[in-house]
Amino acid sequence: MASAPAKAILCGEHAVVYSSPAIAVPITQAKTSVRIQPWIQAPSGSVWIDAPDIHLSTARSDLPPTHPLSVLLNLIESDLRRGPLPAFRMKITSTIPVASGLGSGAAVSVAVLRAVYAFVSRPLPLERLNELAYQVEKIHHGTPSGIDNTVITYARPVFFQRGHPLQFLRIAQPFTLVLANSGQPSRTADVVADVRRAWQENPETYQDYFNQIASLVNRARAALETGDHTALGQLLDHNHALLQQIGVSSPILDTLTQAARQAGALGAKLSGAGRGGNLIALSQPERAPEIAAALTQAGAKNVFITTVEAVHE
């Protein structure tokens, strides 16, 4: 059985596409798992896919070539350079809500890659796994920064900056996040493309937003390394305000982040692409149920409480 966790972007989204740093954490409470078994007597290259969470039960040959699983299996075959794969049956199960900014797509890619390479007994170092998962992200999302596949591959809190060596974060004290979905669907590729247009029209203004975000991400890193959650909460609020200015918040996200703050969150912001999708609220552990209830009351979906564990090495 291979698996991969969900993720949340703590701060720095969008600016990260323009080479500012960003921080993301794995959410180990939700994950995608993949189990593979040989498919006896089926011809090489045959794959039977069962993914009950998305009501999919099909042969690979019946999927359109643009389907994410077709893309992934073709990529694996070309990377392995050994012709068609031996026939197998693959069961994909996931507790990560789909299209919610929790990285469900990247988690499927990482878990399937792990499972198939193990099935054909080929080693897959984390660095190579991350590169392959990034190639899949690029096919689906246009110009992704690579932060999603990276945090999911390594399953550790990351300080990620395009074009710079990956850094793992020290987390001095565990912290509690309330995650919620706005219920408003949003496509990452569209929002990223809109930001690009706005940046092209107003390069100086947008560069200034990205610089301000870079500075707060560095301060958030220091707050995580010293366990200063009050400071971290303020930085998350500040990041949300900058994301509003960039134009990626929405009335629902603003209402929900405000509801979380009123219920006692140390800070709250949209997380991921925005215009809908996910939000996070940093909470003292004992306040989290109240914040979760306030978010549900204000209309949020898939609300859950999670702890990001301390990391000392």
User: So which residues are the catalytic ones?
Assistant: 148
Stretch of residues binding ligand PMV (CB under 6 A), selected from 13-21, 112-120, 223-231, 254-262: 13-21
- Looking at beta carbons only, is 16 or 292 nearer to ligand PMV? 16
> In the structure encoding, which two tokens stand for residue 192, read together?
């990223």
Would you count residue 217 as binding ligand PMV (CB under 6 A)? no
- Looking at beta carbons only, is 148 or 283 nearer to ligand PMV? 148
The minimum distance between CB 275 and ligand PMV, in angstroms, equals: 10
Measured between alpha carbons, how far is 27 from 247 in angstroms, rounded to an integer? 27
Residues 20, 94, 109, 145: which binds ligand PMV (CB under 6 A)?
Answer: 145
Nearest residue relative to ligand PMV (C-beta): 272
Residues 3, 4, 10, 13: which binds ligand PMV (CB under 6 A)?
Answer: 13
Residues 169-198, one symbol each (x = binds ligand PMV by CB under 6 A, - = not), give -------------------x---x------
Measured between alpha carbons, how far is 7 from 102 in angstroms, rounded to an integer? 5
- Looking at beta carbons only, is 85 or 272 nearer to ligand PMV? 272
Q: How many residues bind ligand PMV (CB under 6 A)?
A: 15
Torsion of CA 199, 203, 208, 211, to 10 degrees: 70
Across-strand partners of 5? 31
Would you count residue 14 as binding ligand PMV (CB under 6 A)? yes
The minimum distance between CB 88 and ligand PMV, in angstroms, equals: 29
Containing H/E element for 160? strand 158-160
46, 60 contact by CB (below 8 A): yes
Across-strand partners of 307? 176
Q: Which of residues 72-101 bind ligand PMV (CB under 6 A)?
A: 101
Would you count residue 107 as binding ligand PMV (CB under 6 A)? no
> In the structure encoding, which two tokens stand for residue 151, read together?
């945090």
Q: Which of residues 15-34 bind ligand PMV (CB under 6 A)?
A: 16-17
Measured between alpha carbons, how far is 240 from 281 in angstroms, rounded to an integer? 11
Stretch of residues binding ligand PMV (CB under 6 A), selected from 10-18, 35-43, 46-54, 124-132: 10-18
Would you count residue 147 as binding ligand PMV (CB under 6 A)? yes
Across-strand partners of 26? 7
283, 291 contact by CB (below 8 A): yes
C-alpha separations of 201 from 50, 195, 197, 275 in Å: 46, 10, 6, 20
Place of tokens 């792990």: 114
Measured between alpha carbons, how far is 303 from 180 in angstroms, rounded to an integer? 4
16, 248 contact by CB (below 8 A): no
- Looking at beta carbons only, is 119 or 134 nearer to ligand PMV? 134
Would you count residue 272 as binding ligand PMV (CB under 6 A)? yes
- Looking at beta carbons only, is 97 or 101 nearer to ligand PMV? 101
Q: Which residues bind ligand PMV (CB under 6 A)?
A: 9, 13-14, 16-17, 101, 144-145, 147-148, 188, 192, 272-273, 277
